[in-house]
A and B are shown apart, each in its own frame.
Chain A
Amino acid sequence: MDWDKIGLKTGLEIHQQLDSKGKLFCPCNCELTDEEPEYNIVRRLRPTQSELGKIDRAAFEEAKRKLKFYYQAYSDHTCLVEADEEPPHPINSEALEIAVTIALLLNMKVVDEFHTMRKQVIDGSNTGGFQRTGLVATEGYVETPHGRVKIENLCLEEDAARRIEEREDGIVFRLDRLGIPLVEITTDPSIKDPIQLKDVAYQIGQILRSTKVKRGIGTIRQDLNISIKDGARVEVKGVQDLNKIPEIVKREVQRQLKLLEIRERLKKRKAKVEDKIYDVKEIFNDTKSKIIKSAESVLAIKLEGFAGLIGVELQPNRRLGTELADYAKKRGVTGIFHTDELPAYGISRKEVENLIQHMQASENDAIIIIADEKSKAEAALGEVISRARMALEGVPEETRKALEDGNTSYLRPLPTASRMYVETDIPPFKIGSNMIKRLKKELPELPSEKKERIKREYDLSEDLASQLVRKGLAEDFEKLAKLNVENTLIASLLAYTLQELKRESHNIENLKLKDIIGALRLLEDGKISKDALRDIIAYMADKKVEPLKAAKELDLLLLTREEVERIIQGIMEEKEELIKERQMAAMGPLMGEAMKKLRGKADGQLVNQILKEKIKKKLTSLE
């Protein structure tokens, strides 16, 4: 695709949890827990009134749902702060220092004084009804192969509560994640190429990994900002796999282009969306559709001029109808049908005809049916009406969720900017030039620098050096490299062998660094052979035993020269005929015999050497 011509503009928002001791505003543990909750706190949130009479769109959306929230809490794992039962403690200065360090690595300008703000979020994910956040730095950049990309902002904020389930009467959250410090990094939204977008995400990710941040699933989250000319800004939440970024962008562009196409077709047909909701229960009195039959009420709307367009595919397997259904589902309904897909699902041709007649629809019109409780169905059709109207305008500004396959689905309207006010419970924190100077001195080595250095210092291949850095094993490597063992062997042990063993379902997680040092020491002292290392480590992991014990139990300790000579002598006596017959050419088969007995217990070269000498001697004596 010609991204320039389409006017593609993209940007990134990266959320990364920090690995500080304690949460941002209380001293609770930053680990998640799977234990049974000890408390279930019931709460309701209300949007607060803004003086300017402007109620935030996203906040209003949630308010309409009037949901109850349940918060799972613990005596030891969470405290009154997460439960919104105690004011926040002073800000965790370690977390602030990590955030400033990241800002410096991203070449950013750090603010003089950090002010904590409240960002209103009333979807229940924050017990207070707002997320605490503050601006740490602005105006930075990262270099990519496609050129420099600006970093606009870095904020330090608290993570939200963990959504556990959605019940009929409310959403259940767990408080373990609420308050874990995280940084939000926002790039300039003018990246014009999906590949570059992925590269920026990767670069920032690498920089983050050089600092004190959490590792593992769910500790980093990428959001994408995507827009095209004549389209609209869409925020895609929750991208887990960086490699999917180009595909997600491609499919979003495709979706927006299709929506623009639909808009043109709707215009030509003079399409209209009327407010009238029809009660069509009677038409389905004898229906075979179970959903419709069992519903308290069956309501429908007419979308004039939409016929055939509801079924138009926007993304693989997602149609305009899917978008309408996304909006309806926000009201908790499931039974939604449109005439582009009917008759089907137990709804007969006759019923469709009756419906069209009853609603006086023309062949150009589409009909949407929702079967559910009356109030729910009404509310859901209200959503469909407003989404259908947006189709007349083109692409709505939305927050969307990244799906597994690279598609996206509707989450909520894009939040408006005016929903922040100061957190009065926390005084401003002066960052000051001394703190900056100190942190500048302690800046960690960037991944790219680290890779170049270990490659040079330890004479490693490009591949091994970059594997070690990428997998976060460089520090372990540098510790092990102090042993008198080949660097390449250590590096490939860390970068590859351990992973192979894991794949073969050995319990690698039982191994500590000191266990690996122990095993390498055996090699260093000449007690085991290089070939035996892998088996010994696997055995240690599975049986949780000391290296020496593992070597002994596996019978992999190297034999002394005398013992090796004795064994070889024995083999030669057995195979005397062969030696007589084939002279030096017996070397091959005899070596094979010897290694069968000595593998892992003697160095191959040594065996080779002894065998050669002995055969020579034998042949001399035979002459």
Chain B
Amino acid sequence: MGPKKHERELIKMAYRGLAKKVLEKESIKIGDRIRVERDDISYEGMLLDRPEDADDKHLVLKLDNGYNIGVEIEEATIELLEEGSRPKIKFPPVDVERNPQLPDISIISTGGTVASIIDYQTGAVHPAFTADDLLRANPELLDIANIRGKAIFNILSENMLPEYWVEAAHAIAKEIEDGAWGVVVAHGTDTMHYTAAALSFILKTPVPVILTGAQRSSDRPSSDAHLNLISSVVAAKSDIAEVMVCMHASIDDKSCHLHLGTKVRKMHTSRRDTFKSINTTPIAEIKDNKIRILRKDYKKRGLEELRVRDKIEPRVALIKTYPGINPEIIEYYIDKNYKGIVIEGTGLGHCPENLIPAIERANEMEIIVAMASQCINGRVNMNVYSTGRRLLRAGVIPVADMLPETAYVKLVWALGQSNDPETVKRLMLKNIAGEIEDRSSLRHFQG
């Protein structure tokens, strides 16, 4: 099965306007060898594609010395020298015999490019999806597992939807049913922690399910993808039957951390070690393909029966409060018939008083309102100040030390599990997948 849903392109490429007209007139296509002549200068090279957001008055040429340049075409003559033959991306299949000594690990791709191939002739970067692609880019994988590859989506992770979480869960379950000893999910990093939380609630899994990705794209030699992927496969072979995120532990290419799917958050826009366990300790560290357990309270392989609890309710909003917030934001969701709202409040779990009437109204409409904190670190406690107490009276559920994103995902899931508001509230306050811990350790905030 090939990738589906939105074609994934980091930068959209296309000629438009004047450039498009000129190219069409001369019947020139991408990859053709052309000459552009103007005043006292003439350039020869291969026509390349151009970012769609750039202007329409330049053509991009790859010169024979390998450099790309933009050539203005308004007063230029353009001549086709030679039609280009686009080299087909085709490799001979990787001929690997299954090694019966090694476990079968499935790698499911959702669009996070943990492997890619560069066409140096055109400079284009092609994401690699199939098991063959992965193995060509990371032949070391063969030493640690038999790899099965499958692409289920091809999307940028910011375009993820709750419906896709369910689809991904089914795809993972299918791999497990088909005998996978562990499953690795390649995922864009932006929303990886949402998907990790969602899979944690939806799936009951007897084997490890590992989400991984790359902060530096896999087309560059310095990509973190390789260590992340290898470490993920090592994690997938372990006895930790949890949904986890496996990414760089520091900015060194030295080790990865395994984070529990409900307690992990992307904390930096660009660093390799962007994913951090919040209010808890990572489950394990993986270094030199060896796993070192950091906490013992994880579910062991084989204990759970595989189950997919796939009912969800996507009509849930996540709202961050701030000084000056307009209560109409909440009214809007009430009027749009939303079933749940997670408020990312300030401090211990507060919001401006002027939101309270709207929250009361939501409660009357049996909309579940949960409170997490925008401090990210720490736990909410709504008994300390009067605003907190008023919010509790208005029916707000304080979700302890749960991350706001996890609370949002959990509410999407919990509302799918039951129509009864009291049951949903009870579910929200009960630890289902490690998302709530009772104790706050001094260890968990580095300041």
Contacts and interface: CB of A to CB of B under 8 A. Distances in A.
B is a partner of A: yes
A127 B216 CA distance: 11
Given A41-B251, A45-B222, A112-B58, A420 B70 contact: no
Interface stretch (A80-88, A252-260, A366-374): A80-88
B41 A139 contact: yes
Contact of A115 (B60, B220, B223): B60
Interface string A92-130: 000000000000000001011111011110100001111
Nearest to B49: A422
Nearest to B54: A428
A128 B221 contact: yes
A417 B65 contact: yes
Interface residues of B, number: 52
A51 B222 contact: no
A135 B221 contact: no
Interface in A113-167: 113-115, 117-120, 122, 127-130, 133-135, 138-139, 153, 155
A430 B72 CA distance: 10
A421 interface: yes
Given A85-B271, A109-B40, A430-B55, A52 B70 contact: no
Interface in A15-59: 41-54
A292 to B, nearest CB: 34
Contact of B252 (A41, A54, A86, A430): A41
A52 B121 contact: yes
Interface string B245-269: 0000001111000000000000001
A85 B270 contact: yes
B84 to A, nearest CB: 14
Given A84-B216, A135-B67, A51 B126 contact: yes
Given A87-B270, A127-B222, A135 B63 contact: yes
A289 B252 CA distance: 42
Interface of B: 10-11, 40-41, 48, 51, 53-55, 58, 60, 63, 65-72, 87, 89, 91, 116-121, 123-126, 136-137, 216, 218-223, 226-227, 251-254, 269-272
Contacts of B10: 424
A421 B222 contact: no
A282 B54 CA distance: 70
Contact of A43 (B11, B117, B252): B252
Contacts of A52: 87, 119-121
Max chain A Cβ within 10 angstroms of own Cβ: one of B67, B89, B124: B67
Contacts of B68: 115, 117, 135, 422
23 contacts: A43-B253, A48-B220, A49-B117, A50-B119, A51-B119, A52-B119, A54-B120, A80-B271, A83-B251, A84-B216, A113-B72, A117-B66, A117-B68, A122-B221, A127-B222, A130-B220, A139-B41, A417-B66, A421-B123, A421-B125, A428-B54, A428-B60, A430-B55
B137 A51 contact: no
Contacts of B222: 43, 45, 84, 127-129
A418 interface: yes
A81 to B, nearest CB: 9
Interface residues of A, number: 52
A427 interface: yes
A422 B50 CA distance: 11
A60 to B, nearest CB: 12
A48 B226 CA distance: 11
Contacts of A155: 67
Given A109-B41, A422-B68, A48 B219 contact: yes
Contact of B221 (A48, A53, A153, A427): A48
Nearest to A69: B253
Contact of A85 (B71, B126, B221, B251): B251
B118 A421 contact: yes
A450 interface: no
B117 A50 contact: yes
A265 interface: no
A291 to B, nearest CB: 32
B224 to A, nearest CB: 9
Nearest to B41: A109
Contacts of B40: 109
Contacts of A139: 41
